[in-house]
Structure 1
């Protein structure tokens, strides 16, 4: 496969800058050829789920509207039982955590353009028949109902909030109905680590594997949630290389036993998050409680999934899911006045 990649690049590979961060175990890195050309390459065994995801992402990137700030597919390659995609290289860096005001403003402005471009998606992109968020919610995202029914183990609640389970079930149950009528397309996995700032200040949106039909306000919630961890210590994991680069909070790994039931909710000041959501064009037609409904659903999803680590995931996955769930719960609790 290495030889095949060199042949496809047109010159021997003389440097590889590997992205050691992220949440999937496939290869990801910037390859530099002897003639100076570069490509960001993702690769995985051809019979793996990762290879299927990479192929799907390549098809999506080929069909995104012209001018959308996303790295484009250069080519795909299957050889020696491996599959690879090569993308444009973006020499960028992810947003700082917690959100820095100017970076957040730039990202939100750029996403408004993305949301507008995907509100009426081009025919060739729609023809891929991406899944609908309503179906994804019913099949995988909604977890509190399963917890209440005993079909899913209860995650560790923030101290004193175990009695809020009925309210969480009621809130998350509205999500499928709220998103069912959406005909627009959304990124589906819009987190700060899927955002890059180029040297010229251009905002790029990366990792389009989870494109789906849904309202843009769902993307907006996940974007704000992923970067709001005020006061949370950071760890920079590995070299930041194009779409594989990310910075992760230094969150806990999963614990079991009595300690797991007393995990405190992080201290969160959410007024500015509420204001950012309400002011964004993507939220203009959102139901009045769309933010609460989405936060409830995401809190349940993130807090229960650390016990179900897929074989495609890296060791950072558990901490990411746990901390994301804690932040979603804390933001919701602030909005609901729970204590």
Structure 2
């Protein structure tokens, strides 16, 4: 699998605290009850919303996300959904807890626990990979029987999301989407890719639990004690935990680690259909590679990745991330299928 990885710890392009409207900063300060003395902008992530750990004169630390309601309404909606989900997740899980929400100066802001942590190092270090896998096993077990407080939110179903947003090889085969750049082992495998991805909705519909829905390396933090914490819960949906597990594993890479065994022996994969991993890899490969599109040419970032301006403020490394993740998924699938 490819090891050309966007640097997850410095992907984001965000406004700083001083860039926010005065009225918004005053509203947040009033909610905090003390002057903000330091603001550390989050450098990970791919959206252009404000995200920073604020520390007040009294020593309180809080993680604040904010979005412009006119230009970034989708982000504001995501933050509101995440706040509702975090408020209802079972107690004791390694997730940030919500504090408040407010609207001011045409912006929407939320305050969450400020986690003291960092994204895992890649290639995966064995101890960190174990910590993340153990942490997700805890989360998956807690969501296997959906708490009524969460299901009352009217959460989407992965089966429906797959049909409307994830499955793209069928569109490519029908000529409605261009064929993305493919490595040699997969160039003549479009029929197999279509057949594999088409099974995802049926498999997902049979699952009774809830899944994070966007489990990637950059949505995980490791605290100083080595415990994994899981962030960005705006895509919680009904679906199988093995989908989360596969999605997590393709957004990183591991030298000398048997990822097939990691997947097969993880509690989240218990009871999965025999081809669940192949089905997920095919679907996510198509999703990421078609979303990445052809290689952009607008410029190059200091890290060497292609940079493309986005009017909604998305990271210029988003396309590189999609391409990397799609290549990881397709490379893993090709190895498992014996494609040459």
CA distance in 2, matches of 1:43, 1:14: 18
Q: Which runs of 5+ in 1 are unaligned?
A: 231-268
Q: After superposition, what is the alpha-carbon deviation per residue over 1:238-279, rounded to whole angstroms, capped at 9, x for unaligned? A: xxxxxxxxxxxxxxxxxxxxxxxxxxxxxxx7x700000000
The equivalent of 2:115 in structure 1 is 90
- Give the number of aligned pairs: 300
Corresponding residue number in structure 2 for 1:236: none
Q: CA RMSD in A?
A: 1.5
- State the Cα distance separating 1:33 from its structure 2 match: 0.9
Q: Write out per-residue CA displacement over residues 205-232 of structure 1, whole angstroms, 9 at most, x where no aligned residue.
A: 11111111100000110111112164xx
Does the residue aligned with 2:232 lie in a helix, a strand or coil?
coil
Measure, in 2, the Cα distance between the counterparts of 1:8 and 1:312: 26
What does 1:253-264 align with in structure 2 at a 5 Å threshold? none
Alignment deviations for residues 158-190 of structure 1 (CA, whole Å, 9 cap, x no partner): 035311111101110111111112121110111
Partner of 1:260: none
| Paired residues for 1:136-151 under 5 Å | 136-151=161-176
Q: Does 1:201 align with 2:226?
A: yes
Separation in structure 2 between the aligned mates of residue 138 and residue 32 of structure 1, nearest angstrom: 43
* Alignment correspondent of 1:328: 329
SS at match of 1:116: helix
User: TM-score, with normalisation over the residues of structure 2?
Assistant: 0.86
Distance in 2, matches of 1:170 and 1:52, equals: 34
2:271 corresponds to which of 285, 292, 311? 285
Task: Tell whether the 8 Å contact from 1:50 to 1:312 is kept in structure 2 after alignment.
Answer: no
The verdict on how the C-alpha distance between 1:229 and 1:320 changes in structure 2, with shifts beyond 3 A counting, is farther
Is 1:23 aligned with 2:46?
yes
The answer as to whether partners of 1:198 and 1:204 remain within 8 angstroms in 2 is: yes
How much does 1:21 deviate? 2.9
For 1:312 and 1:300, how far apart are their aligned partners in 2?
Answer: 24
Say whether the 8 Å CA contact 2:100–2:110 is kept in structure 1. Answer: yes
Give the corresponding residue for 2:17: none
Where does structure 2 lack aligned partners over 5 or more consecutive residues?
Answer: 1-23, 295-309
1:304 aligned residue = 290
Mapped to 1, the partners of 2:312 and 2:159 lie a distance apart of 26
In the other structure, the counterpart of 1:174 is 199
The answer for the alignment partner of 1:245 in structure 2 is none
Q: TM-score, normalised by structure 1?
A: 0.86
Q: Is the 8 A contact 2:185 2:339 kept in 1?
A: no
Q: Which of 33, 39, 44 is equivalent to 2:62?
A: 39
Taking the aligned partners of 2:246 and 2:161, their CA distance within structure 1 comes to: 16
Query: Who is 1:252 aligned against?
Result: none
Distance in 1 separating the partners of 2:254 and 2:178: 26
Q: What is the alpha-carbon distance in structure 2 between the residues aligned to residue 160 and residue 85 of structure 1?
A: 46
Task: Name the CA distance, whole Å, in 2 between partners of 1:129 and 1:304.
Answer: 29
* Residues 99-248 of structure 1 aligned to structure 2 (within 5 Å): 99-228=124-253, 230=255
1:14 equivalent among 32, 37, 48: 37
Q: Which residue of 2 aligns with 1:337?
A: 338
